[in-house]
Amino acid sequence: MNTMDTRPDQTVSEEELHALLDGQLDALGRAALEVRLALDPAATATLQAWQRQRTALRGLHRQVLEETIPASLLAAAGRAGQAHQQVQQWWRWGGMAAGLALAFGLGWLMHGQSGSDSTLARAPAAREFVHQAAWAHAVYAPEVRHPVEVGSAQEEHLVQWLSKRLGRPLKLPKLNGQGFDLVGGRLLPGSDGARAQFMYQNARGERVTLYLGSTPGEIGDGGAGTEFRYSADGPVPGFYWVEEGFAYALSGALSREQLLQLAQAVYHQL
C-alpha cells in the first residue's frame, strides 16, 4: 500500500507527482499527498502543467490512439526481432509508436547536408516525430506566462534535469550569434520515452523550439555526416535529423533558409 509522509514541511518530489499523475497511489496515499500539495504552490503548479501537457498531446493524437494496429506493422515488428517490446508500445500508444519504431528500425538516417520533403512520405516515423515536434511548438510557443517549465536563469539545472530524464548527457546549443536567446525548456512525453524541448526567442518575439529524444535501437551516423530533412507538413515548418540514436527537430514560423541556418548552428554544437 502506498502512503505519503504528511509532515507539512516536506516538499513534494517529482517522483511523487509522477505517481499521482499516473494513478499509482491508493486512496490514502493520494489524500495525504493532496494535503501536502495544498501547502506547496510550486509542486501544484508543476502538476497542473504536466496535466495540461498530457491533455494537449492526447488531444492532438486522439484519432491515432483509437486506431486498430495494422496487421502489417505487427508482422514487420516480428521480422525485426523486437516484436514483444514494440507491441507493448503499440497497444499503449494505439499505433503511434509503431510507425516510429518501424521506420527508424529500417534505417531512416541518410547522409549529406540537404534534404527533400519526399522522405516524409516514405518514412512514417520521421513524419510522426516531426509532427510531434511541430505540435509541441504550436502548443507552447504562444504561451506568454508559462512557455517553459524551467527558465534560462536556471540553465544549468535545466540541462542536468533533462539529461537525467532522457538518460543521456545533453548539450544546450547557443543561438545568440543567430539572434536567438534561450527562453528555457521543458520535459515532454514521446512515443518512445521522454522528450526535451528547448525554446529560443529573437528580438522580434519570434520563437523556435528544439525537440529531441531517443529513437528505437542504436542508429549511428554511419560515419558520413548527417542529412537535414525539411517538413512543412504541420502547424509550423521544421528541419529534422538523426545522429547516434537521437532524433532532433527544429521548428518555428520562419523561412526555410532561416530554419536551415539555425539547424546547422545547433548541429555543430551537439
The verdict on 33 and 128 lying in the same domain is: no
The verdict on 128 and 198 lying in the same domain is: yes
Q: What integer pLDDT is reported at residue 62 of this predicted model?
A: 58
Whether 256 is covered by a domain: the verdict is yes
The verdict on 53 and 125 lying in the same domain is: no
The verdict on 255 and 172 lying in the same domain is: yes
Whether 32 is covered by a domain: the verdict is yes
The verdict on 171 and 248 lying in the same domain is: yes
pTM: 0.56
The verdict on 216 and 145 lying in the same domain is: yes
Whether 155 is covered by a domain: the verdict is yes
Q: How would residue 107 be classed by pLDDT, with cut points 50, 70 and 90?
A: very low
Indicate whether 191 pLDDT > 90. no
The verdict on 27 and 130 lying in the same domain is: no
Q: How would residue 1 be classed by pLDDT, with cut points 50, 70 and 90?
A: very low
The verdict on 133 and 51 lying in the same domain is: no
Whether 5 is covered by a domain: the verdict is no
Sheet strand arrangement including 238-243: 150-151, 181-190, 193-201, 207-214, 246-252, 238-243, 229-231
Domain final residue, candidates 25, 46, 61: 61
Which residues, 6 or more positions from 56, have their beta carbon under 8 angstroms from its beta carbon? 139
The verdict on 146 and 27 lying in the same domain is: no
Residue 125 maps to which CATH number? Answer: 3.30.200.100
DSSP string, the chain: -------TTPPPPHHHHHHHHTT-S-HHHHHHHHHHHTT-HHHHHHHHHHHHHHHHHHHHTHHHHTSPPPHHHHHHHHHHT-HHHHHHHHHHHTTHHHHHHHHHHT-----SS---THHHHH-HHHHHHHHHHHHHHHHHTT-SS-S-SEEGGGHHHHHHHHHHHHTS-------GGGT-EEEEEEEEEETTEEEEEEEEE-TT--EEEEEEEE-SS----TTS----EEE--SSS-EEEEEETTEEEEEEESS-HHHHHHHHHHHHTT-
Whether 127 is covered by a domain: the verdict is yes
The verdict on 123 and 249 lying in the same domain is: yes
Q: What is the mean pLDDT of residues 162-188?
A: 93
Domain final residue, candidates 24, 40, 61: 61
Q: 24-62: string of b/e by CB count within 10 Å (b at 16+)?
A: ebeeebbebbeebbeebeebbebbeebeebeeebeebbe
The verdict on 131 and 259 lying in the same domain is: yes
Whether 40 is covered by a domain: the verdict is yes
Q: What integer pLDDT is reported at residue 183 of this predicted model?
A: 95
Q: What integer pLDDT is reported at residue 73 of this predicted model?
A: 56
Q: What is the mean pLDDT of residues 113-135?
A: 61
The verdict on 135 and 233 lying in the same domain is: yes
User: Could you tell me the residue range of the domain that residue 154 belongs to?
Assistant: 107-267
Mean pLDDT over the full length of the chain: 74
- Rounded to whole angstroms, the maximal C-alpha distance in the chain is 58
Q: What integer pLDDT is reported at residue 200 of this predicted model?
A: 96
CA 9 to chain centre: 33
Whether 196 is covered by a domain: the verdict is yes
Q: What integer pLDDT is reported at residue 170 of this predicted model?
A: 92
Task: Answer with the residue of higher pLDDT: 96 or 175.
Answer: 175
Q: How many domains does the chain have?
A: 2
Whether 71 is covered by a domain: the verdict is no
